[in-house]
Structure 1
Amino acid sequence: MSWKKSTELMDTIRHYANFPATGVSLRQMVQFGERPSVGTLFRASQFLSEELPIRLAHRVQELQELPDGLGDMPSIGRVRDWYAQSFEEITTLPKPTLSSEIRDRLLKPQNGKNSRILSEATKNPSINQGQYRSQLHHNNHDHGENRKNALKRYYSAGDDTNDWPPELNDYNTRFSKTLEKIKRRHDSVVTTVAQGILEYKRKRQRMQIDHNIQAFLDRFYMSRIGIRMLIGQHIALTDQRAHSDPTYVGIICTKTNVRDLAQEAIENARFVCE
């Protein structure tokens, strides 16, 4: 049975698209994921259950508003439906019913020598303010409030001194499996979007795309990297509890040689271009 989007779902997506995405840095991911537990993973699940729908909603909205009929291409429509379906699966995943005591523990900051306040995300200097519609916008009047709300939504280490109820572990497992299914669904997004561009060129009888479409592709693929990073990190942290590697925190290698990676990327790009 094929999936079909409903009017109610699209209304919900438009609502979520009004909210800005919350920036998350690699440093924050490493600090948070160094000691994954049922409690920390649940807090991460709670954050992602809010953050991923916002990011997915922005992509659905943009795919609906593409210029010059690009959004009417069959392959683009297929990708748009994938994002909408993933949005629906996350937002409709049942959450556990928790006692007030457990909720208080989840909100309680971690105490002791291992406690820490996670670093703030550093602004990307290569991205101009307002360049992306999903960015957090602020002015002199609302800067403090927006900043507070954004930081408040980011998951942080809390009180893990006692055992957690099995409902939390069950939700963590279900949420991770949902993310795995979404990740597999989106594996072919790049090639499918490329197919959509080819369909557009054939229909318009053009060899090139204009700067508006190129700007969309840049935004779309940058967002895709961020979404897959969040999903991949959470899946890896869930799995890391059973398969620990001291040089990795989730999918992040703390011993990465950036120079070697950059050189490898250069060689790969040279090979493709030749």
Structure 2
Amino acid sequence: PCRFLICLGSTNACEKTSFMFLRQELPVRLSNIMKEINLLPDRLLSTPSVQLVQSWYIQSLLDILEFYTKNADDHTVLSGFTDALITIRNRHNDVVPTMAQGVIEYKESFGEDHMTSQNVQYFLDRFYMSRISIRMLINQHSKCGESDRLPSTLPFQEETLKQL
């Protein structure tokens, strides 16, 4: 994935290349997040806010999977994919405060214990890092579709690509 990101930032990157990568990569990343959400304590998982976040991830996975076998040469497909990614990004805008609300709901209902708090914090750290990486990929793809050529995003890009 790191090599792909550097290449995606190059001057010959295109929406089709990004589409072909993301239609495979995003389902994996979303599935991993969903698996980790399902490992939360049942009482936290059952809070309305965490249920809402979980439903957003399920819907986003379903949205991406619609493109799994679509033709990458079809400009309508590429445009639809970009629109779907923007919808997904917007759907997830409130994930952080909603998940925080879920933790508050849990603590208000069941109190706090040190071990559970540590485990939940570990989950949240991983969850938010995964979320950041997905949003970065979506934003990169969105920019890819804006023009035939991406602006240079890395000052050392030419040299880095030569080394790869």
User: Given the alignment, which residue of 6, 9, 19 partners 1:45?
Assistant: 19
Following TM superposition, by how much is the alpha carbon of 1:190 offset from its aligned partner in structure 2, in angstroms?
0.5
Q: Which residue of 1 aligns with 2:6?
A: 30
User: Given the alignment, which residue of 212, 215, 220 partners 2:127?
Assistant: 220
Q: Name the amino acid aligned to 2:148.
A: R
Instruction: Determine the C-alpha separation between the residues in 2 that align with 1:216 and 1:172.
Output: 34
Question: Identity percentage over the alignment?
Answer: 36
> Does the CA-based 8 Å contact 2:9-2:154 persist in structure 1?
no
Q: Deviations over 1:129-151 (max 9, x none)?
A: xxxxxxxxxxxxxxxxxxxxxxx
User: Given the alignment, which residue of 137, 148, 155 partners 1:230?
Assistant: 137
Following TM superposition, by how much is the alpha carbon of 1:207 offset from its aligned partner in structure 2, in angstroms?
8.2
Instruction: Determine the C-alpha separation between the residues in 2 that align with 1:85 and 1:32.
Output: 27
Instruction: Determine the C-alpha separation between the residues in 1 that align with 2:113 and 2:100.
Output: 14
1:69-218 equivalence runs, <5 A:
69-93=43-67, 95-96=70-71, 167-206=73-112, 210-218=117-125
Instruction: Determine the C-alpha separation between the residues in 2 that align with 1:211 and 1:65.
Output: 14
- Return the structure number with greater relative CO, CA threshold 8 A, min gap 6: 2
Higher fraction of helix: 2
1:223–1:214 Cα change, 3 Å: same
Q: Name the amino acid aligned to 1:29.
A: L
Instruction: Determine the C-alpha separation between the residues in 1 that align with 2:126 and 2:55.
Output: 18
TM-score, normalised by the number of residues in structure 2:
0.82
> Does the CA-based 8 Å contact 1:42-1:168 persist in structure 2?
no
Q: Which runs of 5+ in 1 are unaligned?
A: 1-23, 99-166, 257-274
> Does the CA-based 8 Å contact 2:34-2:54 persist in structure 1?
yes
Instruction: Determine the C-alpha separation between the residues in 1 that align with 2:4 and 2:70.
Output: 25
> Does the CA-based 8 Å contact 1:75-1:192 persist in structure 2?
yes
Instruction: Determine the C-alpha separation between the residues in 1 that align with 2:98 and 2:126.
Output: 16
Other structure's SS at 1:35 match:
coil
Following TM superposition, by how much is the alpha carbon of 1:65 offset from its aligned partner in structure 2, in angstroms?
1.9
> Does the CA-based 8 Å contact 2:37-2:45 persist in structure 1?
yes
Q: CA RMSD in A?
A: 2.4
Instruction: Determine the C-alpha separation between the residues in 2 that align with 1:50 and 1:188.
Output: 25
TM-score, normalised by the number of residues in structure 1:
0.51
Q: Which residue of 1 aligns with 2:146?
A: 239
Following TM superposition, by how much is the alpha carbon of 1:49 offset from its aligned partner in structure 2, in angstroms?
0.6
